Copies of this chain bind each other. A is one copy, B any other.
Amino acid sequence: MNFVSDNITGAAPRVLEAIGRLGAGADSAYGMDAESQAAARRIAELFEAPDASVMLVATGTAANALALAALTPPWGAVLCHEEAHVNDDECGAPEFFTHGAKLAGVPGPGGKMTPGGVRHALTRFPKAVKSVQPAVLSISQVTEAGTVYLLQEIAALSAVAREAGLKVHLDGARFANALVALGCTPAELSWKAGIDVVTLGLTKVGGLACEAVVAFDPALAETLPFRRKRSGHTLSKGRLLGVQANALLEGGYWLDLASHANAAARRLAGGLVAVPGIRLAWPADANEVFPILPARVDAALRGAGFAFLPWATGSLGQGETLGPDERLVRLVTSWATEMSDIERFLAVAAAA
């Protein structure tokens, strides 16, 4: 009954079981433990990048901010979609970790930047000391609007960035959902598309608190151990992170969980558009659905006990507007979403 976010459910069974096995035994502290080391190797292999540097932290905010701090000087600019999580939802964490770099929002419908949009944003920053210097392009995949960039779209953005001398970061808070949506490999969704550093999200997909920063050129990650320690993100009992990553990645468990979430969203989206008066703001590519609801449907659903968030209209396409009695809302599904809840949701919507 809760479609607020995929970060509000507990953890998937195998994750809890793995944590439950962390008993009295001793192991090295500060991320040098066997589980964390194994997780790092596993992730590098998963990305077909044996030399990649992999670092685990407990939150996506930390992973994103650390990744950006490794890629930009304090006088750099980070280009990202104007509604990107790093720009709007992390209370300035990137600014804190980078010591004051500037986040420059690039507009674009459906949460997506375009090569033209990035090129235009770059013109704001002349090669002069008076201006901060563009250093990073940060791409959110899945986007804040729940859409998924095609691989060629990412490659096109990366190409623009690279040509201008920028590094490319992928905020993969919902990386698994994107993988499932695209049916591609982690390598294809990252370095093969021009990505330098990935924030690999493992919390929303089914972990409790686990994300990884993956740098394909380990030279880019040289400062990260110090930055992580200094920001308080080096867990003494680091195995807490390692076991989550291992439990999720082993046997493709994370992809199974993401598939369930995506399928639930697909069913939800399909059911909603079948209801007269309801349309989607954007395609529901992964595990988020952004329907535009008549106000009375919105009210009926809330009255029936469903929880979900109203959403800002900034990413609506040009010319697209809400009517006075329409509401844009966000519905998020997860590994824990019950299909029966979706059917009930659709029934209430249809009845209203």
Chain A interface residues (CB < 8 Å from chain B): 2, 4-5, 7-11, 13, 16-17, 19-20, 22-30, 57-63, 65-66, 73-75, 88-93, 95-103, 123-124, 129-133, 203-204, 208-209, 223, 225-237, 239-240, 307, 312, 335-336
Query: Counting chain B CB atoms within 10 Å of each CB, which of A4, A103, A132 scores highest?
Result: A132
A102: chain B residues within 8 A (beta carbon) = 92, 95, 103
Contact of A73 among B24, B223, B228 (CB under 8 A): B223
What's the number of copies of this chain in the assembled complex?
4
Minimum CB distance partner of A338 in chain B: B24
15 A/B residue pairs, CB under 8 Å, sorted by A: A4-B26, A8-B26, A10-B23, A11-B237, A59-B236, A91-B132, A91-B226, A91-B229, A92-B230, A93-B230, A95-B95, A96-B230, A102-B103, A129-B234, A130-B229
CA gap between A92 and B98 in the complex, in Å: 12
Q: Which residues of chain B come closer than 8 Å to A24, judged between CB atoms?
A: 9-10, 335-336
| Residue contact A129 to B95, C-beta cutoff 8 Å | no
CB proximity of A19 to chain B, nearest CB, Å: 5
B61 touches A232 (CB 8 A): yes
The answer on a CB contact under 8 Å between A230 and B74 is yes
- Tell me whether B240 and A209 are in contact (CB under 8 A): yes
CB contact under 8 A between A101 and B91, given known A8-B27, A23-B13, A232-B65: no
Q: Which of B26, B103, B130, B229 contacts A129 (CB 8 A)?
A: B229
**CB-defined contacts of A240 to chain B, threshold 8 Å:** 208-209
Contact B13 A29 (CB under 8 A): no
The 10 closest A-B pairs by CB, nearest first: A62-B232, A95-B100, A7-B236, A24-B336, A2-B26, A10-B22, A61-B232, A91-B229, A75-B226, A91-B230
Besides A61-B229, A65-B232, 18 more A-B contacts (Cβ < 8 Å) are A5-B29, A10-B24, A10-B27, A13-B23, A22-B208, A59-B232, A59-B235, A61-B232, A74-B95, A74-B96, A88-B130, A90-B130, A92-B102, A95-B102, A130-B229, A203-B236, A208-B240, A232-B233
- How far, in angstroms, from A234 to B203 measured CA to CA in the complex? 13
A204 → chain B closest CB, angstroms: 8
Q: Which residues of B have CB within 8 Å of A60?
A: 236
- Judging by beta carbons under 8 Å apart, are B16 and A131 in contact? no
Q: Is the CB of B29 within 8 A of A8?
A: yes
Q: Which of A22, A95, A227, A234 has the most CB of B within 10 A?
A: A95
Contact A235 B58 (CB under 8 A): yes
For A227, the closest partner residue in chain B by CB is B75
Residue of chain B at shortest CB distance from A31: B129
- Closest residue of chain B to A83, judged by CB? B124
Q: Please give me the residue from chain B that is nearest to A239 by CB atom.
A: B10
A331 shortest CB reach to chain B, Å: 13
